[in-house]
Amino acid sequence: MTGPDDPPAVPPLSHVLSGLVASLPATHLAAWIRVLHTVATPDERTESLLVAAHPGAGIGPRASLLATSWRATNPQLTGPAVALALEAASQRYEQDLTSHRVEIAVSGPVSDAVPIRLTASVAVSVIRAATSRLLVTSYAAFGVREIVSEIWAAADRGVSVDLILETARSAGGKLRGDRDGRTAFHDLRFHPDVHLWQWANDQRHGQGGRHGSMHAKVIAADRVTVFLGSANLTDNAYTDNLEIGAVIHDPASVANLVDHFATLMGSEDGPLIRLTWSL
């Protein structure tokens, strides 16, 4: 147990390296890696060499922390070994940033405040990214000929497509009228790799006996990328309405979402069941 006058504990070298790659610009990291390749072990000159390699605000304390942690963790560790560890940590950090990025998509009015992408172009790019599996869900579907064509192209290249749609009231669903998303995707009815699903009517009872809606709007490519948003698969939603969505590039989270729907579709008495193409 440490007292109030004891010096602060020195963090392990692995923690220090992780912090450096998250806080230092790439140019500083590259300069430090070059310097570390010339250092045998951490001595009194190590800090000054790091600072001189690429001067900047806040560099001195970071150089001191690296040298101190290096000596405390393993002073026999060579400079090239530390350089290799720093380079590996930097590459992993960049890979994590790439695989966990989020993009915003909109329909309707746009602004000059931030760079954004339009809903239709985002939906198309996610569908085109699919290599083995494509999950598409929507409450309403009407028109969207480009989306239908892209789904057809995905199925033609061997992608297994699952379409989960709300049905019309005449079929037990919540959509008004006699037509639902099957009309928009009718051209796909004979493609062997396109599978149509619905939320079983006898599985929709919520609290108070209310009848739930299949309201999710999802386009998921494989287990890697997903587009989530407010827009239904309709021409109005993709071009005219004020809609907002996000593209999430996070394999772990996307895999969980895809597995959730797969479980709902996979059980014999589960809530999602096959939907016939006939209205």
Percent of the chain scored above 70 by pLDDT? 94
What pLDDT score does 8 carry? 63
Predicted confidence band of residue 42 (pLDDT cuts 50, 70, 90)? very high
Could you tell me which of 217, 237, 127 has the C-alpha nearest to residue 164? 217
What pLDDT score does 233 carry? 97
Tell me the torsion sign for CA atoms 77, 80, 82, 88: negative
Question: Which sequence spans correspond to the domains of the chain?
Answer: 13-98, 101-274
The residue that leads in pLDDT, 205 or 226, is 226
Question: Does the pLDDT of residue 242 top 80, yes or no?
Answer: yes
The pLDDT tens digits of the residues spanning 9-30 come to 889 999 999 888 888 888 889 9
Rounded Cα distance, 18 and 25, in Å = 13
Rounded Cα distance, 39 and 75, in Å = 12
What pLDDT score does 59 carry? 87
**What's the mean pLDDT in 190-210?**
88
Predicted confidence band of residue 93 (pLDDT cuts 50, 70, 90)? confident
Amino acid at 23: S
82-86-88-94 Cα dihedral, nearest 10 degrees: 180
- Residues ≥6 apart with Cβ < 8 Å to 127: 134, 136, 147, 150, 151, 154, 219, 221
**What's the mean pLDDT in 200-210?**
81
The pLDDT tens digits of the residues spanning 128-166 come to 999 999 999 999 999 999 999 999 999 999 999 999 999
What pLDDT score does 274 carry? 95
Question: Does the pLDDT of residue 270 top 60, yes or no?
Answer: yes
What pLDDT score does 215 carry? 95
Amino acid at 256: N
Quick one: tokens of 132?
A: 């083995």
Measured over all CA atoms, what is the biggest interatomic distance in the chain, rounded to whole angstroms? 81
What pLDDT score does 202 carry? 87
> Tokens 């239709």 label which residue?
120
**What's the mean pLDDT in 204-216?**
84
Tell me the whole-structure pTM to 2 decimals: 0.69
CATH of 101-274, one of 3.90.1170.50, 3.40.50.970, 3.30.870.10, 3.40.50.450: 3.30.870.10
Question: Does the pLDDT of residue 184 top 70, yes or no?
Answer: yes
